[in-house]
Structure 1
Amino acid sequence: MTTRRDFLSQPAPENYVAGLGRGATGFTTRSDLGPARDGPSDDQIKEALAKRAQQLGLAPEKGKKDKDDEEGGGGGGDDERYQDPDNEVGLFAGGLYDKDDEEADKIWEWVDERMDRRKRQREEREEAERDEYERNNPKIQQQFTDLKRALATVSDDDWANLPEVGDLTGKNRRSKQALRQRFYAVPDSVLAAARDSTEMSAMVTDDGGASSGADGRETSDGTMTNFAEIGAARDKVLKSRLEQASRSGNGDASNGSSTSIDPQGYITSLNNMVMPESATQVGDINRVRELLQSVVKTNPNNALGWIAAARLEELAGKIGAARKTIDQGCERCPKSEDAWLENIRLNHESNNAKIIARRAIEANNRSVRLWVEAMRLEHIPNNKKRVIRQALDHIPESEALWKEAVNLEENPDDAKLMLAKATELIPLSVDLWLALARLETPENAQKVLNKARKACPTSHEIWIAAARLQEQLGQAAKVNVIKRGVQVLVKEQAMPKREEWIAEAEACEADGATITCENIIRETLGWGLDEDDDRKDTWAEDARGSINRGRYETARAVYAYALRVFVNSKTLWAAAADLERAHGTRASLWQVLEKAVEACPHSEDLWMLLAKEKWQSGEVDGARLVLKRAFHQNPNNEDIWLAAVKLESESGHVEPARQLLAVAREQAPTDRVWTKSVVFERVHADPANPAAGAEAALDLVLQALRLFPTAPKLWMLKGQIYEEDLGRVPAARDAYAAGVKAAPRSVPLWLLYASLEERAGLQVKARSVLDRARLAVPRSAGGADLPPGGAHAAQAAVPGRGQEGGQRPGAVRGRGAAVLGGAQAGQGAGVVRARAGAGRRAGGQLGVVPQVPAAARDGGEARGGGGEVRGGGATVR
């Protein structure tokens, strides 16, 4: 049973606000309060104020009351504002009111009345002026009052037909109306004709005629084709080309009567000429002609427009029209040099050129270009001189005119006079001073250069010329002119850049002034470089640049200056030596190397380089002396010891070489020295008793292994001696087995071990050796390339005695340089073994070591003491 809830008919609880529970708030509008009520009127306020004043006993007098009524106040006016709100009777209500107070009140009342009267008069005057102004200048709303009243009679249709606001000026309105009226219905025939006007039909009808012509008309048999127009166009093209050919000939091109046309050359020129089709070319010329005519008409005082119009006519082959056009341009622009020069060019082959030049000079007598062009039009030298002297009378300060005048003089004395006058008029011209100095005698040239130096203190060319003069006189060593010049230029703040000085030095070298070149480099190469800059690399780059340009003296001077600053730089000494070796003499090379070893006495590369140069030139004793000096400076250097051994061995002195090796093993006991000793004994064994040499080599290798048990090359030599020299394969196997235990990272040793097993027929054991090598050297590229059991790979990696493919040509090299007995970095470790029999050279050589391929080399074992000695196509490491 459902009961009906009648709470909507019940009254709301006390202080109930509808919607307060859901966040709604009540508000009150003006309609809830009703219309606002009016406040008290002015009369009610005045009555209330008067009643209040009567209650306080401060009723004003009649005059005062009237005044207050006029002001609209209600009891006291402004005095009401200054009364005490707590005591409205005044601050002196308790005081006595005597005659003085009454007199003072009357005085103040008189003042107030006078001020009020002035105020009323001012307000009346201002109100009258305002009314007069408004009457003469009514407001806009007042002016259109009658019109607004008339709007009441406008109907709705009139309102709807009012025009839109826009630009309704007469000009724009007329143009827009005309634009709106340009709508025409284009017939289909016009569109079809426009489409077919540029169409080239290649269709042929059954009766043999073309289906339609280019203009859309039917041509049944082709008789409507206008061949005359085609021929006329070809004639125009041929005429244009013939006129161009006639202008290029040696005859009179102005009248087209040239007969010196080469037929073959003319055909070639026509083939090389890139010209569009005749109709297109003519059309383009006509369009451009119209544009240029518009240009010269709108701006006739612009010479460029006239020049362009004349060149267009020249391009079109109308040389007469071009001359006429440019002549008009010269008349309209008489002060334009370009217009006159163009006019002279177009009339250069006619007799009018000189007349035009005279007119141009009359209009521009200060134009150097016009005077020079007028001079060039003359063919007789005296006439040329006369024109150029007239030009100098008008423009005496022109350097170009003086140069032309000097060039026209054939007599050196007359040229001197001209240059002397020119330098008086143009003292700042460096070229004129230098030209005068070149024509003078050496004594007078010094005076001229001194005057030039005073006139142009900022010119470095004058100082260079003075230095070259001193070199010519043989006094360059006495007076360093370049040094003084640099000091003056620095003082004048006119010092050129370092690159400019190098260019000047190279120019002096090209002219043969090598001493001046050296002085320039010595005094200016360090200009603009601080100690913080990388001066050594900068100077080295400058020297290489001069070498590339073929200026070797400049490069020598640069290296000399750099080596004075960086005395102990091995790279600079080596670069200087390379320069002398490539572009110098043998004596100069020896001199540079002698200075190098004196500056760097502990550089074994420079010592061996000098010894090598001596040895290669046949100075064996000199090479020995150099190595002896190197021993004193570097007593325990193995490279120098091995170089000495190499020298004696190559000279055929085996016993001195063996003794040197013995001394080297005592004073410089390194594994490399011991290795060289073992190889030397194998190579230089007695052919009658090779076993004795093998035993001596074996004894040396056993001694070396006691000192250097981890040297892989010694183990290789031991195995090779047992296998190849003594034929003891088991001993060789034991040597290789002990070697791979002592030096497990040596890839060539593992390969030799595997190849021994393969040659012995033990393929399985060779594969096992290579597997062990993979484990010992997992990162070896050679080991990764060899398959398990790759005996053939091992044999290919280490060729036998007869496999010359693994040998390398011999050379005498050193560490980082090609020097005697030195190390060759980056060669990789090789297998040291002796070469006997036919492989040995006469006199005994250090033999070949078959090389392991680069893929099979180990980085850690690749250097082998850092050196190698090569000879006779062999490498010993």
Structure 2
Amino acid sequence: MATKKRTKAFMGMPAPLGYVPGLGRGATGFTTRSDIGPARETGDISDERHAPPTKRREDDNDDDDTDLNDSNFDEEFGYGGSLFKNDPYEKDDEEADQIYESIDKRMDEKRKERRERRFQEEVEKYRQERPKIQQQFSDLKRKLADVTPEEWMNMPEVGDARNKRQRNPRQEKFTPVPDALIAKAVSATEQTNIVDIREQKYGGFLTPATGMSTPSTEIDMPKIGQARNTLMNVRLSQVSDSVSGQTVVDPKGYLTDMQSMLPSYGGDINDVKKARLLLKSVRETNPSHPPAWIASARLEEVVGKVQAARNLIMRGTEHCPKSEDVWLEAARLMPLDLARGIVTHAVRHLPQSVKIWVKAADLEQEPKAKKQVLRRALEHVPNSVRLWKAAVELEDEDDARVMLSRAVECCPTSVDLWLALARLETYENARRVLNKAREHIPTDRQIWIMAAKLEEANGNDAMVDRLIERALASLTANMVEINREHWLKDAIDCEKAGSVHTCQALIRNIIGIGIDAEDQLETWIEDAQSCQNENTYECARAIYTHARKLHPTKKQLWLEAADFERKHGTREQLEELLSTAVVSCPKAEVLWLMLAKSKWLAGNVPLARETLSAGFQANPNSEEIWLAAVKLESENNEYTKALSLLKKARLHAPTARVYMKSVRLHWCLNDIPAAKELLEEALKTYGNFPKLWMMKGQISAQQGSNGFDAAREAYLEGIKRCPTSIPLWLLLIQLEIDNGQLIKARANLEKARLRNPMTPELWLTSVRLEVNAGNIQQAKVMLARGMQECPSAGILWAEAIFMEPRPQRKSKSVDALKKCEHDPHVLMAVSKLFWSERRIDKAREWFNRTIKIETDNGDCWAAFYKFELIHGTEQQQIDIKQKCINFEPRHGELWCRIAKDVKNWKLKTGEILELCATQMPLPN
């Protein structure tokens, strides 16, 4: 096979510039004239020997097209670009690029979380230092929801704070032109064709100068008005463009609107004209129609033409002399002296009109004149109750009695007049008056109630019940419906008036009307509670008394009555009630305990022991009574008796609570070996009772570092037996935190949340753990997760309020109140928020709202008490402390931690309150 001959690369290419063949070997070339042309030396090189510039390839322009931007520069590799640009891009290169790209992507993902977290921290730090305008005014924008439409319309417009030069940088300044100058300018451009007023004055004519027109000295007012309107239009055109993009004043319709407005009316004059035409048509069509005259007069009064209104209404009195409304309207529009004359004319036309007589009495200034007018009115209208009442009010007691005697003769069906007369009469006369009233009005219950009040006021309590019974029988016989609600309202009014026996008689006789037997108990308890809300305690006591007579064995009824007496009655009333209750319900242990506690608080310990003994006989081996007896003895320093009672209880009524109280008493008496022995004995039988494990761990933890492992083992064993006991988990976590084992504490918290989902106490502990460790960002993350899992947890919302920066706390509290409106933790957090802002009255109001909703949370009482210690008076401090003692709170994080400490086992409620207030931190 023949091989292809290879050619040199330079063959066929033009010679370089200035190349002479053989010149390097010493050869000399020659040229002819035809080569170099004329006038050239031999050594010159022909221009034709120069190679023409070759066309550059696109690759040669790469250096010029290189991106020299700073973003394309790298300190190590310089400007971007490929070193191997001319080489082919093979599959290995593509695979290598993919590997490098995947490595870069993976490294970027590893740094992404750290980069985002750092960016978020910088943003939060920036927002804390410079919050958005939207965040600063978020609380103010929420208040706009409470603005009424009237307040919104009355809100003043916001003015432009810039000065005049800034508002109108290019606007020219105009000075108002005087009217005389405008008139002079107008007259200077026209020929005078009118007679000068000076010529008329002196009886001659002034000869104008040659070639000049004489200006007139007469002022042409129409032209001045036109000039002023022109100037106003120019000014309005400028004002209309003073705000870019808006038209502030309508220059075309402004003057027209001003002319069509009535200063006193504020409406459109065209509407007034239309109304006048319509009312005029009505008056002419039917001149004896009183509303047309009244409407016409009021229209003129509204537009400010009072005299025209008076003229119209007086014409109305001529056309409608028998209409009392027209006469009353005329008297209202006229001045006082003229109104009296109008009323006099009205009385002549309408002597039976009560309204006109009352108007005539009102127009009089002196009481004597009023009496004369009303007495004259009663001569014409003797059966008017309104006139009699008005006349009696002006008289003294003796004259009023005489007038009322006449009034009941003229108006025998008026209950008010009969009752007023009975109030003014003596006892015997009042009875006669009320008897006559019942004869004339046999269907009214107020007369019977008044009679009962009269008998009670004179000491005839036995007669009160008879009267109420007779009243119900008589009204029923006269076909009167007995409305239970109305009679209850009358009973409440009687108690407020001081007629206690009458109100009780009413309750006894009407409380059961219209109620089914199965609904009686529930209905009566609701009625008693409504009476308590009305502060009518005697009515509520009467309801409970009647209910107990019919249902003596209902434990719930006795408890409601006892709670009522505890709040609103005396100690004697409470003990009397409970003494009756334990006889009617001897198996109700709580009633025995309440009676014993009342006697104990009164200082009568022997009677309290006897009560508990009687209760124990009625309820043999009752755990509650055993423990109450133990508490009574231990509180009175009878520890030997208390231990003996506990020993008997463990023998005859062994329960987990009995063992727990036994261990607790030994522990408080510092008898630790006996307490541990009892614990081991109890845990063999009652291993599922979490409080025993909690006590075992706490006793071990008291020994310091030596008992740390034993306490942990006790808590872990207790959690195995009782995995749902949140206090047991919290004690284990707190033990780890106290010993610096934060990692174990976090792990235990995670386990607790997995086994007990939707438990806000565990989330709160996690948040506080991270806060104490300095991990604020992680604490916020945990709080967000907890609020997502428990959206209505008040303790988490309360914690979230104070974890926000100060500008955002108000908005967070509003969100918390929307989610948990009646949660005591949220209400207390809002109270502390106002406290931190030094809004004392507002904070006190919210503290009161908190303890009203939740009386069993000791932390709320402690925070309120500390607030009053700093900002309140001594009396306010005493009141809060006494209320706390009365309610005896038993819950609350800080309260339980102090109250259940063995060092404080003998402290009373007031002492615990003071200790809690001391340890309660101030809001920051």
TM-score by length of 2: 0.53
Distance 1:450 1:279 in 2: 62
Match of 1:331 among 311, 318, 321: 318
CA deviation string 1:280-314 (max 9, x = no partner): 56665454334332332222111111112222333
Match of 1:702 in 2: 680
Query: Relative to structure 1, is the Cα distance of residues 283 and 579 closer, same or farther in structure 2, using a 3 angstrom cutoff?
Result: farther
After TM superposition, list the pairs within 5 Å mapping 1:611-690 onto structure 2.
Answer: 611-685=596-670
Query: Relative to structure 1, is the Cα distance of residues 747 and 389 closer, same or farther in structure 2, using a 3 angstrom cutoff?
Result: closer
Matched, 1:296 2:283: yes
Match of 1:588 among 545, 552, 573: 573
Instruction: Tell me if structure 1 keeps the 8 A contact 2:264–2:302.
Output: no
Q: Which amino acid aligns with 1:397?
A: N
Q: Secondary structure at the match of 2:461?
A: coil
Q: Which amino acid aligns with 2:586?
A: P
Match of 1:609 among 576, 594, 601: 594
Matched, 1:310 2:288: no
**Greater RCO between the two (CA within 8 Å, min separation 6)?**
1
After TM superposition, list the pairs within 5 Å mapping 1:648-797 onto structure 2.
Answer: 648-685=633-670, 693-725=671-703, 727=706, 732=711, 735-736=714-715, 738-746=717-725, 748-749=727-728
User: Cα distance, 1:446 vs. partner?
Assistant: 1.0
Query: Relative to structure 1, is the Cα distance of residues 636 and 309 closer, same or farther in structure 2, using a 3 angstrom cutoff?
Result: same
Query: Relative to structure 1, is the Cα distance of residues 742 and 542 closer, same or farther in structure 2, using a 3 angstrom cutoff?
Result: closer
Matched, 1:514 2:492: no
Distance 2:295 2:764 in 1: 76
Match of 1:489 in 2: 475
Distance 1:582 1:465 in 2: 32
Match of 1:366 in 2: 352
Match of 2:378 in 1: 392
Query: Relative to structure 1, is the Cα distance of residues 316 and 748 closer, same or farther in structure 2, using a 3 angstrom cutoff?
Result: closer
Distance 1:466 1:595 in 2: 34
Q: Which amino acid aligns with 1:295?
A: V
User: Cα distance, 1:485 vs. partner?
Assistant: 0.4
CA deviation string 1:720-777 (max 9, x = no partner): 4345349455655655565455445545546656776787898998888778778876
Q: Secondary structure at the match of 2:321?
A: coil
User: Cα distance, 1:670 vs. partner?
Assistant: 0.6
After TM superposition, list the pairs within 5 Å mapping 1:207-246 onto structure 2.
Answer: 224-225=224-225
Instruction: Tell me if structure 2 keeps the 8 A contact 1:683–1:835.
Output: no
Match of 2:543 in 1: 558
Q: Which amino acid aligns with 1:463?
A: W
Q: Which amino acid aligns with 1:372?
A: V
Q: Secondary structure at the match of 1:477?
A: helix
Q: Which amino acid aligns with 2:413?
A: L
User: Cα distance, 1:460 vs. partner?
Assistant: 0.3
Q: Which amino acid aligns with 1:604?
A: E
Q: Which amino acid aligns with 2:344?
A: R
Distance 2:375 2:757 in 1: 93
Instruction: Tell me if structure 1 keeps the 8 A contact 2:859–2:892.
Output: no
Q: Where does the alignment leave 5 or more consecutive residues of structure 1 unmatched?
A: 1-202, 211-217, 230-273, 686-692, 797-804, 813-817, 849-869
CA deviation string 1:384-424 (max 9, x = no partner): 44543443343333222333343344351x43343333323
After TM superposition, list the pairs within 5 Å mapping 1:181-580 onto structure 2.
Answer: 224-225=224-225, 280=267, 285-347=272-334, 349-350=336-337, 352-379=338-365, 383-410=369-396, 412=398, 414-480=399-465, 481-532=467-518, 534-580=519-565
More off after superposition, 420-429 vs 514-523: 420-429
User: Cα distance, 1:628 vs. partner?
Assistant: 2.9
- Identity in percent: 42
Q: Secondary structure at the match of 2:393?
A: helix
Distance 2:299 2:628 in 1: 81
CA deviation string 1:87-127 (max 9, x = no partner): xxxxxxxxxxxxxxxxxxxxxxxxxxxxxxxxxxxxxxxxx
CA deviation string 1:119-170 (max 9, x = no partner): xxxxxxxxxxxxxxxxxxxxxxxxxxxxxxxxxxxxxxxxxxxxxxxxxxxx
Distance 2:723 2:171 in 1: 93
Distance 1:423 1:670 in 2: 77
Q: Where does the alignment leave 5 or more consecutive residues of structure 2 unmatched?
A: 1-169, 178-184, 190-221, 230-260, 774-778, 780-798, 800-856, 862-883, 920-924
Q: Which amino acid aligns with 1:303?
A: P
Match of 1:261 in 2: none
User: Cα distance, 1:500 vs. partner?
Assistant: 1.2
Q: Secondary structure at the match of 1:545?
A: helix
Q: Which amino acid aligns with 1:484?
A: R
Instruction: Tell me if structure 1 keeps the 8 A contact 2:476–2:482.
Output: no
Which protein has the bigger helix share? 2
Distance 1:373 1:833 in 2: 73
Distance 1:631 1:706 in 2: 28
Q: Which amino acid aligns with 1:441?
A: T
TM-score by length of 1: 0.56
Instruction: Tell me if structure 2 keeps the 8 A contact 1:716–1:736.
Output: yes
User: Cα distance, 1:490 vs. partner?
Assistant: 1.4
Distance 1:407 1:679 in 2: 75
Query: Relative to structure 1, is the Cα distance of residues 657 and 223 closer, same or farther in structure 2, using a 3 angstrom cutoff?
Result: farther
Query: Relative to structure 1, is the Cα distance of residues 491 and 348 closer, same or farther in structure 2, using a 3 angstrom cutoff?
Result: farther
Distance 2:562 2:186 in 1: 90
Please give the root-mean-square deviation of Cα atoms over the aligned residues, in Å.
5.0
Instruction: Tell me if structure 2 keeps the 8 A contact 1:652–1:844.
Output: no
Give the length in aligned residue pairs: 573
Distance 1:377 1:307 in 2: 21
CA deviation string 1:571-630 (max 9, x = no partner): 443443343333333333333333333333333333333333333344434433433333
Q: Secondary structure at the match of 1:652?
A: coil
Q: Which amino acid aligns with 2:286?
A: N
User: Cα distance, 1:541 vs. partner?
Assistant: 2.9
Q: Secondary structure at the match of 2:352?
A: coil
Instruction: Tell me if structure 2 keeps the 8 A contact 1:679–1:833.
Output: no
Distance 1:638 1:619 in 2: 23
User: Cα distance, 1:515 vs. partner?
Assistant: 0.9
Query: Relative to structure 1, is the Cα distance of residues 223 and 545 closer, same or farther in structure 2, using a 3 angstrom cutoff?
Result: farther
Q: Which amino acid aligns with 2:311?
A: K
Instruction: Tell me if structure 2 keeps the 8 A contact 1:646–1:820.
Output: no
Distance 2:320 2:719 in 1: 100
Q: Which amino acid aligns with 1:474?
A: G
Match of 1:689 in 2: none
More off after superposition, 429-438 vs 541-550: 541-550
Q: Which amino acid aligns with 2:461?
A: A
User: Cα distance, 1:379 vs. partner?
Assistant: 4.8
